[in-house]
């Protein structure tokens, strides 16, 4: 999920409140703080994070309409330790979900995703944010590298399994 960085005072136990701009408009939902300690007694160091209001509204609308919220996925597991450019699909057999959109589009474990639609992807986290900004059933174009060659594939995102 994309996050807004804020210097608003957020303390352990009081996340969930609105983040407002200078005009009083709600722009996010306070969700996390950075702290120096590892216990619940550790206070904020003045760095907080909020879920952007458009993402919070999307989730709230789904909860009201369906009683649950879903989010889109490509059907891949990423190697979060990869330090190269792009998002590396895990090289294990669990890197690609059987029957998922990525497999149907021809992606394989070890492929490196470098573009999501027109958005360049430099790291796994960027791909996760890009996917989460879409809706279930959206069609997207993925550009990826396999064995030094660039390929593109178009696929439809599916809902994450519970």
Q: Specify whether 76 is located in the same domain as 145.
A: yes
Give 122-140 pLDDT, tens digit per residue.
999 889 888 988 989 999 9
CATH code at position 81: 2.30.42.10
Give 27-60 pLDDT, tens digit per residue.
988 877 665 554 555 555 567 778 889 888 988 9
- Report if pTM > 0.85: no
CATH code at position 9: 2.40.10.10
Q: Specify whether 86 is located in the same domain as 13.
A: no
The answer to whether the CB of 27 falls within 8 A of the CB of 21 is: yes
Q: Which of 66, 92, 109 is the last residue of a domain?
A: 66
Number of domains observed in the structure of the chain: 2
Task: For residue 152, count other CB atoms closer than 10 A to its CB.
Answer: 10
Give 66-102 pLDDT, tens digit per residue.
898 888 999 999 998 999 999 999 998 889 999 999 9
Q: Specify whether 148 is located in the same domain as 86.
A: yes
More reliable by pLDDT, 114 or 29: 114
Range of the structural domain that residue 83 is part of: 72-159
């Amino acid at each position: 999920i994309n996050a807004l960085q804020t210097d608003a005072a957020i303390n352990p136990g009081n996340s969930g409140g609105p983040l407002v701009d200078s005009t009083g408009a709600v722009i996010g939902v306070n969700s996390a703080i950075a702290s120096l300690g590892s216990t619940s007694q550790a206070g904020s160091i003045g760095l907080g994070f909020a879920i952007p209001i458009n993402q919070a509204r999307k989730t709230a609308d789904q909860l009201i309409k369906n009683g649950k919220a879903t989010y889109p996925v490509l059907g891949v597991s990423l190697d979060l330790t990869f330090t190269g450019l792009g998002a590396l699909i895990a090289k294990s057999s669990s890197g690609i979900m059987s029957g998922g959109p990525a497999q149907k589009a021809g992606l394989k474990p070890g492929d490196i995703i470098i573009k999501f639609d027109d958005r360049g992807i430099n790291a796994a986290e960027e791909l996760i944010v890009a996917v989460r900004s879409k809706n279930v059933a959206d069609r997207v174009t993925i550009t990826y590298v396999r064995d030094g060659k660039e390929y593109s594939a178009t696929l439809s995102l599916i809902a994450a399994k519970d």
